[in-house]
Structure 1
Amino acid sequence: MADFNYMAILVAAIVPFIIGFAWYNPKLFGTTWMREAEMTEEKMKSGNMAVIFIVTLILSFILAFFVQTLTIHQMSAASLMGGDPELAKPSYEAFMNDYKDAFRTFKHGALHGVLAGLFLFFPVIAINGLFERKSWKYILINSGYWIVSLAVMGAIVCGWR
């Protein structure tokens, strides 16, 4: 059974910070995002950045933990029989022997990250944005950020063994 790689999860949890620093930089999408989000410099300075960063890291760790289960198919196979290999039928062991490292690549993890971004995150961000009366620029900037972040996170947690 594929075990959780906590070092890969921790590294993947840092990815949204790194991509966010570039993505929301004024030289990329930061200026447009601030305008579309109705964010001001005063609002930016009003929050407790230490708390924001700590909570963000915790939530990113939870997200990276989930992304690992999404990208590594062997974890899904283990969940089909309750997660306890002792309760598994012989076919489970045969399956794991045949597919032990199948699809455990950075490329495969990135693909699943992109799919999660497109088919999970984009709809949620778009729905919220529509009800909040945000522009499509705002929706696409935030969705794009998460699609790229999830692609990199998926690559790390799937390919790093």
Structure 2
Amino acid sequence: MAVGVPVLQMARVRHNYLAIVVAAIACFLLEAGWYSAFMNTWLNGIGRTMQWLTSSGMNPAIQYATALAMAALMATAISCVTQLTGKQTALRGIKVAALLWAGFEMTTFATEYVFEVRPISLFFVNAGYWLFGMMLMGAIVGAWKKKA
């Protein structure tokens, strides 16, 4: 090896799949409570009624499965970034999740809502849920280390 050439070592990511599943389920349960609490604001923001939603013909099993699968994918990404940026802790997981939210979720929602001329109340409901949901998942995957 050449003298004076820095050697980069790749951090090893060790996913704890049980923690990822638990984080996804926790986020899913938070989502159920969040949207129940903000149901009227959300419905007004999307310009729909509960009657319309129930008669839309969409299969709720597909909706719930999609929400759970996407939460698991997000928890996996949070776990990966948490481990690649330093020591794996609950606090680092929360910080990573908040940063990912600010860099991707919030910015995407803000741009989308401005061009779609959606109400700011809907932005706060949807983006707010993801901030807390991602931080919850970050805390779980950050704190729950995979055994060696």
Q: What TM-score results when the alignment is normalised by the length of structure 2?
A: 0.82
Q: Distance in 2 between matches of 1:60 and 1:112?
A: 16
Runs of 4+ aligned structure 1 residues displaced above 2 Å come to: none
Which segments of 5 or more consecutive residues in structure 2 lack a partner in the other structure? 1-11
Equivalence for 1:36: 45
How many pairs are equivalent? 132
Within 5 Å, give how 1:11-160 maps onto structure 2: 11-25=22-36, 28-45=37-54, 46=56, 47-73=58-84, 103-160=87-144
Identity over aligned pairs, percent: 28
- Partners of 1:155 and 1:128 lie apart in 2 by 28
Match of 1:5 among 16, 28, 32: 16
Cα distance, 1:10 vs structure 2: 0.8
Could you give the per-residue CA deviations for residues 70-89 of structure 1, whole angstroms, max 9, x where no partner exists?
2112xx6xxxxxxxxxxxxx
In structure 1, give the amino acid aligned to 2:132: V
Q: Output the aligned Cα RMSD.
A: 1.5
Who is 2:7 aligned against? Answer: none
